[in-house]
DNA sequence: CACGCCTTTCCTGTTT
DNA sequence: AAAACAGGAAAGGCGT
């Protein structure tokens, strides 16, 4: 059981494919009373219904393995879009952390990273994608470091979440103990997507093959246009610093152009960035069709056909 | 070290 | 007049 949870069995098989992994998982499900549930699309994974605090390290390892497998599929998937294509941005505010959805956890983390001028690209928080608020609030500092892949970022996230939890005065709901003893443990607040046909637990579509000898450091740094998309998805910056002019068209406008440029400069550890230079970089995107000019409108740009990942279900206004 | 991709920096000129 | 927009030229940084 342990090896299954950690994904070791997957690596013990000779054919490294999703098929193998999921077949193992089906066996596992059969044997363990459907303890694992299929959770949805790319970027999500199996979630044990009866996850206990002691199992969190194993769960994280499991998540890490799953994300490793999913890694090459998630690049152009908007980080905030959940299984139903619904954006969860900002909805976590004022809400008990344990009720946060995975997307709300992500938005919280992104917001905190942005404040500290860390990269907010999806890669940065990749391994948090499978963490619901219920799990998130239980993570230790070590968990956070491990998931973020960084001591500093892990500490930052842990500090931020501790602060938030501390501010949740008086609304400590049931204790964990109550949860664990509840019949049919299923209280992890995650939008479980039940597959009503096909093999239970089987991921839809063609299984993705995995090449095990690759991806050492595919930590591609955040491109300028990706940075802009992330600003538009972040309630800390949209619509205060940047906003959609017309989401359907893909046009957006810099509300505080100099601040956005400085934010970009901070990201690149360059205190000399300003909108003049920032905009020059944007104009270079015209050639590659990542951006298009919007004549007559100042500070307004339009995403071109080569810009991926900006179209989300519920844009901020 | 080379090379290519993305900017960053600087600049001249034009438009709003 | 001030702020944006347009691009050319060249250098910087970084990953491969």
Asked if residue A186 is part of any domain, the answer here is no
pLDDT, position A299:
98
Whether the CB of A296 is less than 7 Å away from nucleic strand C comes out as: no
Quote the pLDDT of residue A117. 64
Is A160 domain-assigned? yes
Verify that A50 and A176 share a domain, yes or no. yes
Q: Indicate if CB(A278) is under 7 A from strand C.
A: no
Do A17 and A111 share a domain, yes or no?
yes
- Å separating the CA of residue A299 from the C1' of nucleotide C3: 11
| Count of domains observed in chain A | 2
Specify the CATH number for the domain of residue A267. 1.10.10.10
Strand C reaches within 7 A of the A218 CB: yes
Q: What is the pLDDT of residue A91?
A: 73
Q: Does residue A310 form part of some domain?
A: no
Which stretch of DSSP H or E encloses residue A253? Answer: strand A251-254
Are A78 and A177 in a shared domain?
yes
Return the axis-axis angle of helices A275-287 and A224-233, rounded to nearest 10°.
110
| Same domain? A230 vs A172 | no
Q: Which nt sits closest to A290, CA to C1'? A: B6
- What Å value separates CA A300 and C1' B16? 14
What is the CA A259 to C1' C11 distance in angstroms? 25
Q: What nucleotide is nearest A265 when CA is compared to C1'?
A: B8
Q: Do A6 and A115 belong together in one domain?
A: yes
DSSP per-residue codes, A27-81:
HHHHHTTS-EE---STT---EETT--GGGHHHHHHHHHHHHHHHGGG-TTS-TTB
- Chain centroid offset of residue A30 CA: 30
Distance (Å, whole) CA A280 – CA A100: 40
| Residue ranges, chain A, pLDDT below 70 | 1-90, 115-127, 167-219
Say yes or no: A166 and A231 in one domain.
Answer: no
Same domain, A134 and A236: no
Q: What is the pLDDT of residues A177-223, one digit of tens each?
A: 333 333 333 333 332 232 333 334 444 454 443 333 333 444 578 89
CA-to-CA distance for A114 and A212, rounded, in angstroms? Answer: 33
Which among A181, A211, A244 is the end of a domain?
A: A181
With helix as H, strand as E and coil as C, how does A97-155 read? Answer: HHHCCHHHHHHHHHHHHHHCCCCCCHHHHHHHCCCCHHHHCCCCHHHHHHHHCCHHHHH
Same-domain check for residues A158 and A243: no
Q: Are A50 and A130 within one domain?
A: yes
Within-domain flag for A316: no
> Quick one: A14 and A161 in the same domain?
yes
Which nucleotides along chain B are within 7 A of a protein C-beta?
Answer: 6-11, 16
User: Which domain, by its residues, includes A281?
Assistant: 224-303
CA of A296 to C1' of B15 (A): 9
CA dist A253 and A237 (Å) reads 12
Model pLDDT, residue A199: 35
Q: Are both A175 and A232 inside the same structural domain?
A: no
Q: How far apart are CA A12 and CA A175, in angstroms?
A: 38
CB atoms under 10 Å from CB of A102, counted, come to 27
Backbone φ and ψ for A244, nearest 5 degrees, come out as -75, 130
One domain for residues A25 and A155: yes
- CB-based contacts of A101: which residues, under 8 Å, 6+ apart? A82, A88, A132, A133, A189, A190, A191
pLDDT of amino acid A172: 44
Footprint of strand B on the protein (CB under 7 A): A 223-225, 264-265, 268, 270, 272-273, 276-278, 280-281, 284, 288, 295-296, 298
- What secondary structure letter does DSSP report for A301? E
Q: For chain C, which bases have at least one atom within 7 A of a protein Cβ?
A: 4-9, 14-16
Please give the pLDDT value at position A128. Answer: 75
Query: Quick check: is A188 in a domain?
Result: no
| pLDDT 10s digits, A48-75 | 444 555 666 666 665 555 554 444 333 3
> A142: which 2 tokens?
């070590």
């Amino acid at each position: 059981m342990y090896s299954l949870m950690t994904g070791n069995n997957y690596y013990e098989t000779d054919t490294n494919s999703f098929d193998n992994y999921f077949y193992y998982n089906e066996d596992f499900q059969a044997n363990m009373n459907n303890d694992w549930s299929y959770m949805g699309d790319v970027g999500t994974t199996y979630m044990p219904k009866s996850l206990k605090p002691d199992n969190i390290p194993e769960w994280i390892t499991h998540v890490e393995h799953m994300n490793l497998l999913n890694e090459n599929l998630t690049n152009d998937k908007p980080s905030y879009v959940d299984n139903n294509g619904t954006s969860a941005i900002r909805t976590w505010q004022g809400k008990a952390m344990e009720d946060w959805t995975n997307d709300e956890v992500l938005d919280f983390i992104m917001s905190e990273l942005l404040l500290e001028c860390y990269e907010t690209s999806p890669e940065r928080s990749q391994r948090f994608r499978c963490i619901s608020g219920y799990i998130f609030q239980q993570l230790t500092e070590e968990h956070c470091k491990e998931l973020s892949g960084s001591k500093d970022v892990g500490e930052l996230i842990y500090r931020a979440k501790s602060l938030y939890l501390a501010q949740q005065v008086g609304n400590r709901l049931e204790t964990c103990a109550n949860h664990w003893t509840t019949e049919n443990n299923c209280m992890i607040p995650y939008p479980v997507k039940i597959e009503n046909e096909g093999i239970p637990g089987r991921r839809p579509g063609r299984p993705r093959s995995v090449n095990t000898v690759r991806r050492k450091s595919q930590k591609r740094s955040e491109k300028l246009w990706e940075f802009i998309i992330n600003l538009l998805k972040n309630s800390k910056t949209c619509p205060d610093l940047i906003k959609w002019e017309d989401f359907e068209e893909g046009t957006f406008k810099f509300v505080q152009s100099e601040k956005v440029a400085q934010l970009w400069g901070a990201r690149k550890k360059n205190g000399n960035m300003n909108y003049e230079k920032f905009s020059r970089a944007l104009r270079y995107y015209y050639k590659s069709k990542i951006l298009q000019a919007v004549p007559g409108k100042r500070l307004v740009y339009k995403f071109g056909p080569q810009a991926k990942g900006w179209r989300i279900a519920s844009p901020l206004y």
